Chains A and B, each alone.
Chain A
Amino acid sequence: MRSLGETIRRSILFYRKDALNQVIIVTLLSAIITGSLLTGHSVRSSLLKNASERLGNTAIVISSGLRYFDASLSDRITKQTREITTSFLETDGYCQNFSTGATVLNTKIYAITENFWLFHRLDTIKIVPGTVAINSVLADRLGVSTGDELIIKLQDIDPIPSNAPFSMSRGNDVSKVVRVGMVLNPDQMGNFSLGISQLAPLNVFISLSDIEESQRTHSRVNRMLFQNSRNLPVSFYREALSKLLMPSDIGLTIRRSQKTGETELISDRIFIDSAIVSDIMAGIPSASPVITYLGNNIRVGSRSTPYSFITSSSYNAIGENEIVISRWLADDLDAKTGDTLILTWYDPGYRNKLEEKNRSFIISNVLANDHPYSDPSLMPDFQGISGSTTCSSWDAGVPILMDKIRLKDEEYWNKYKGTPKAFISYRTGMKLWGNNFGPATAVRFPGTSEPEEITAGITKLLDPLKAGFTITDIRGKSGNAATSGVDFSTLFLGLAFFIIVSCLILLSLAVSMFFDSRKGQIRTYFALGFKNKQIRNLLLSETMTISAAGAITGVFLGYFINIIIIKALNSVWIGAVQTNTLSPDFDFISLLTGFLATMIIAYIMLLVKSGKFLKSLSEKETGELKDQSQRLNLLFFILSLFSWIILFILSLVIDAFSTALSFTAGALAFCTLVFALRQYYIRNVPDRNNIKSLRRNLEKQYFHFQPSHAITPVIFIAAGIFAVIITGANRQTINKEMLLPSGGTGGYLLWAESAVPVRENLNSIEGRKDFGLDETELKDLIFVQAKKLFGDDASCLNLNHVTAPSVLGIDPEEFIAKGSFSFASRIKGLENKNPWDLLNETPDDNTIYGIADQTVLEWGLKIKVGDTLVYRAENGQILNIVIGAGLKSSVFQGYLLVGSENFSEYFPSVSGNSIFLADGDPGLSDYYAGILSERLSGYGISAEPASRKLASFFVVVNTYLSVFMVLGILGMVLGVAGLGFILIRNFNQRKKEFALMMATGYTTKQIRKLLLKDQSLILFLGVFTGTVSGLIATLPSLNSGSEMPWKIITAMILMIIAVGLSTILLSIRTVRSSSLIIQLRRE
């Protein structure tokens, strides 16, 4: 025999029983590690698959955000890029089953053409006009099938935002009754979505022509998809868009004024974006911006003229406080040059509340009625005004007092339409009427320029990004989000902590026993002159071979564990993932990593243990048994006892820190009990006159010198029970504190969301009247309202890593006054400031502050306070949102909060509020919810108690805690089974002792009884220590109403006792008189 391999093989075969124990333990360790790694991989691959399913053939997306563009742009880009594209309109709304009234909110509505299905290679799908296709999830929720009728309500898609100045009075929604033409499965693009979430969307696909017909629009879309078959970079598409984008694509029209001969640029949004105006002014120096605005009243002295248009421009040199009026106006007001004129108008502010402002001017000139600048085309194409035949039929979106309109005003309108009656300087007009929608209603160019020339010039200047376009590698982004989301590998390794620890302890015991059984063999090697290193290598080679066998078996078992975990995540643990579409996936790298990790752990343990073992053999033999210091132990016992008592009392008295104090008290109680136990074992004062005392001392004498043999299993069992109890107590539930203003509900009764934004202010007299909220019973009902910019869900319910959460624009004054919500973190340097105050500040150009839930920051966005999220404002400019503070767990989880003023500045087209916090008389909470659901049903509102909204976020954490408890209990049971190992080891070490006892007259039965007593005591002491210290640690939680899963904990304790006792009883059966007699012969 020459080879080491052969020696190892023979040795393993000979000692196969010991080897098998080790193989089993290492198999389990390897299976758990590999199973966890595979679970992480499976979740990632499922999210990737989910993303791929959602996107279909989509690789690149061009989006106009909240704006729209002409569908013909898509055709031109297709020709230019030679890439397959499709364009469509994406909007939000809600659906109702026409028959049953069942309503589903938060629905995505895609207005598509046939090209959409061809893009995704689904040639057989066609949507007949008048019908829609919906996805199966939505169909299930509505309880509809093919042929059933639905009511669809979608957000208004008018290019003019409903909250823009002088926007026609109209609702924010469009309603259609349609029939379900098809119910689509995921493989039919039913779950199409450009968002990042594993939650199945609720989709409606409608023909674009149906929307155009009802909206009297043409070819207006807001998304363009590319297959990017040639894997071209995003920059390629950006360049193509830059080259091909024309003013008409984004609602800009260039025309010539018949009156003045000037070329002018106007927008279908009425106001032109500031970025576009700035670029034109910089690129075409002859350009001149104009704002034409409706004045409510023009007065000189006692005479006044109602509802007139005033133009601010750079014509003539009009001073800042000067005004030039038309002859008609001068006659009407009996005014002349030098007179003071008072102009009154509605402020174009963002607050949606009408505020009249006025200012005085000095009349510097009177123009003839046919003056060139008396140009009717200066009046913007206000939809509710320009088509009217009379003034009294105007719909200006603001109150028009009809009794103020005189006959001469109607005559003026008939003859001159919206020809401005007065002119001020552009600079003054900008100050008075410039608003978030833009600084100009037109840009004019000298009459010498041809419209075609101007068009070409503006086309060159147009920057798609400044026009609000974004170009995204959506496939790459979704892939990144899926792979960098919640790491289930690390999660499950942590959750399986106790199983892993149990395996390590058992492996350590098994290895110790293995080495003990080889003492004679090792002695031979020593005697024959083998070096320590050689002996160690022999031992390691053998044990590592055994470990490798276990590790290999374990990695394959780990695949099955992965299947079980994924099944559980799709069912009983669905709270953690919010989807049942996860699937197990095989991954060689995970298997290899699991194998290597197990081998490394085994190697380190074997290296350390073999070193210690050989060292102990080569040390000088003195026959000495180490005595334990009773004094030191007693000192530690007293210290921990007093510390525990003091902290426990403090935890009952100091509410603010009761949780931390009680946890520490519980941990100290744990230590106290362990020291007490140790003292029991190492104490050695038998009453020599009392046989019972002598016998008792004899029975525990073994542990006097080896207290760790008793204490270690106690600590292990107790630690496991302690951890499971404190886990159970920390399940998150709603308690009294959360309902206070400082709690997660902010002290509000209700949380409501609407599918269609509500333009009206529900706290205003007009708003309450409009919605019937002005009843006496509702007098205490108040609202905090927020506008919402759709983004990705950044709450714990989304497994993907998101970078652009939904943004809420909120007025924090109410929160400041009420002291609502609490903060877990604040930005450095501003710790003394109320974080809510930050929301109204702008620390830098295009930079604002935002606030988000601390959980969202850490786990969802993976950023911290002080970091910056980069968004694109509606007009394409970069908007930096600096995180100013992190909220403690709140109803706002998943959102980024900014100040409402800042929100409206950067996203002015979001024309109403979608999120509401309501407060009032707590006894009327249900009544309020019912009233809201009824009065705002047309907006697709859902109202629920704020506490329930908050509790919905606990499901993820609570599920993880449940998983931890289950796996922890399994680990504990495993560890307790390892008591059998300890028993056998103790027995082996005490063989001579038992042999002597037999020689003096003890029977085998008595020796077995002694062992049973020893080990049972250890088992029960472990259970007692863990339970008592766990309950002490969680007393405040229990007092505050926390729900402890008593059934699970009781079942766990009973299972530990049952398994422990069974293991002990089985193990002591190995005690036989025959094996002991051999020991006697050797003496």
Chain B
Amino acid sequence: MLVIEGITKSFIQRGIVLDKLELSVKEGDSIAVTGSSGSGKTTLMNIIGLLDKPDSGDLFFRGKSILTFTPDESALYRNRNIGFIFQDNLLLPHLTVEENIMLPLFAARISEDEYKEKRKYADLLMEKTGIKGLYGKYPFQISGGEAQRVTLVRALINKPSLLLADEPTGSLDAKNAMLLGELLTSLNNETGTAMIVATHSSDLAAKMKVHLRLENGRLIP
């Protein structure tokens, strides 16, 4: 599904962060990417999600090179195929939980029927993740763990092919971190959504099917 070929990325202050990195992700894969701080995990996530561009190399999604996408094509790619979970959940503070979850739907035109269908799916996901009762609440009214689960539902609402989670449990306590990890695993099994999880947490990494280390700019099994 996703093939990364020889991606290199450097920063002036940090030097080479990704050095001819290679990765192949199939449908249903769950990959943990671990590495020390500053190793380039977030950079890798940003590149895969077309939020940043590499200095060289290529990126193929379902056989098509996506680095040449225009900004609109990149946006569409993210909306349809990618789900993001950030460490700082990045919920919009002035929207309710329900509205934050439905937000990706407003990026593209959908019909009334599609909306109803998505709504049902959102209900299902919220039930699954144990946050159904939070519909009308605002982000400042829920806990960090709940917020991260909201982020998860939001990321999955469009049934993406690939979920990118950058330190999803970084801001959570152990209990919520474990809960989130289990959710990720079960969703991967049930929906077949591939996921790449960048994490420091060995517990979370252990739950993923594949564990890769990002060292010296490359992914090492």
Contact = CB atoms under 8 A, between A and B. Distances in A.
Given A526-B78, A620-B53, A531 B95 contact: no
B104 A528 contact: yes
A527 B107 CA distance: 11
Given A520-B90, A618-B71, A527 B84 contact: yes
A624 interface: yes
B220 interface: no
A501 B135 CA distance: 47
Contact of A531 (B52, B75, B92, B154): B75
Interface string B48-87: 0101110000000000000000011001111110101010
Nearest to A15: B94
Given A1-B96, A1-B99, A534-B107, A528 B11 contact: no
A213 interface: no
B86 to A, nearest CB: 8
A524 interface: yes
Nearest to B10: A622
B94 A11 contact: yes
Contacts of B130: none
- Residue of A521, A523, A524, A624 most packed against chain B (CB within 10 A): A524
B142 interface: no
Interface string B33-53: 000000000000010010111
B103 interface: yes
A7 B99 CA distance: 10
A923 interface: no
Contacts of B51: 523, 526-527
Nearest to A9: B94
Contacts of A620: 52-53
A680 interface: no
B103 A528 contact: yes
Nearest to B52: A621
Contact of B79 (A524, A529, A625): A529
Contacts of B99: 1
Contact of B107 (A528, A621, A623, A624): A528
Interface string A521-557: 1011111111111100000000000000000000000
B102 interface: yes
A588 interface: no
B100 to A, nearest CB: 9
Given A530-B107, A531-B71, A10 B94 contact: yes
Contacts of B46: 621
Contacts of A624: 12
B88 interface: yes
A14 interface: yes
B112 to A, nearest CB: 10
Contacts of B80: 529
A13 interface: yes
B93 A14 contact: yes
Given A530-B107, A620-B53, A623-B14, A524 B90 contact: yes
Interface in A35-69: none
Interface in A487-538: 520-521, 523-534
B13 interface: yes
Contacts of B90: 520-521, 523-524, 527
Contacts of A618: 71
A524 B51 CA distance: 11
B75 A532 contact: yes
A609 to B, nearest CB: 18
B102 A1 contact: yes
A623 B11 contact: yes
Nearest to A1082: B88
Contacts of B95: 1, 7, 10
B13 A623 contact: yes
A1 B11 CA distance: 41
B12 A532 contact: no
A527 B71 contact: no
Interface string B4-20: 00000001111000000
A520 to B, nearest CB: 6
Nearest to A623: B11
A529 B13 contact: no
A529 B94 contact: no
B75 A529 contact: yes
Contacts of B49: 527
Contacts of B94: 10-11, 13-15
A525 B78 CA distance: 10
Contacts of A11: 94
A520 B91 CA distance: 9
A697 B29 CA distance: 52
B78 A527 contact: yes
A560 B20 CA distance: 68
A624 B10 CA distance: 11
Nearest to B92: A521
A534 to B, nearest CB: 6
A534 B106 CA distance: 9
B42 to A, nearest CB: 11
A625 B84 CA distance: 28
A528 B52 contact: no
A319 B196 CA distance: 127
B176 to A, nearest CB: 18
Contacts of A532: 71-72, 75
B78 A528 contact: yes
Contacts of B14: 623
A531 B88 contact: no
A531 B53 contact: no
B26 to A, nearest CB: 23
Contact of A530 (B53, B75, B88): B75
Contacts of B71: 531-532, 618
Contacts of A528: 78-79, 84, 103-104, 107, 154
Contacts of A530: 75, 79, 106-107
B72 A524 contact: no
A623 B12 contact: yes
Interface in A961-995: none
A524 B107 contact: no
A13 B92 CA distance: 13
Contacts of A531: 71-72, 75-76, 107
Contact of A622 (B11, B76, B79, B84): B11
Interface in B145-184: 154, 158
Contact of A529 (B52, B78, B92): B78
Contacts of A533: 72
A466 to B, nearest CB: 78
A301 B194 CA distance: 140
Nearest to B90: A524
A218 B78 CA distance: 101
Nearest to B154: A528
A332 B71 CA distance: 120
Contacts of A1: 95-96, 98-99, 102
Contacts of B104: 528-529
Nearest to A7: B95
A523 B86 CA distance: 11
B121 to A, nearest CB: 16
A1052 to B, nearest CB: 43
Given A520-B88, A620-B52, A529 B96 contact: no
Nearest to A625: B12
A523 B92 CA distance: 11
Contacts of B103: 524, 528
In order of increasing CB-CB distance, the 7 nearest A-B pairs are A529-B79, A14-B94, A529-B78, A623-B11, A527-B84, A530-B107, A10-B94
21 contacts: A1-B95, A14-B94, A524-B91, A526-B75, A527-B78, A527-B82, A528-B78, A528-B84, A528-B104, A529-B75, A529-B77, A529-B78, A529-B108, A530-B75, A530-B107, A531-B72, A531-B75, A534-B107, A622-B12, A623-B12, A623-B14
Given A1-B102, A529-B79, 12 more contacts: A10-B94, A11-B94, A520-B90, A521-B92, A527-B49, A527-B82, A528-B104, A529-B158, A532-B71, A534-B107, A620-B52, A623-B13
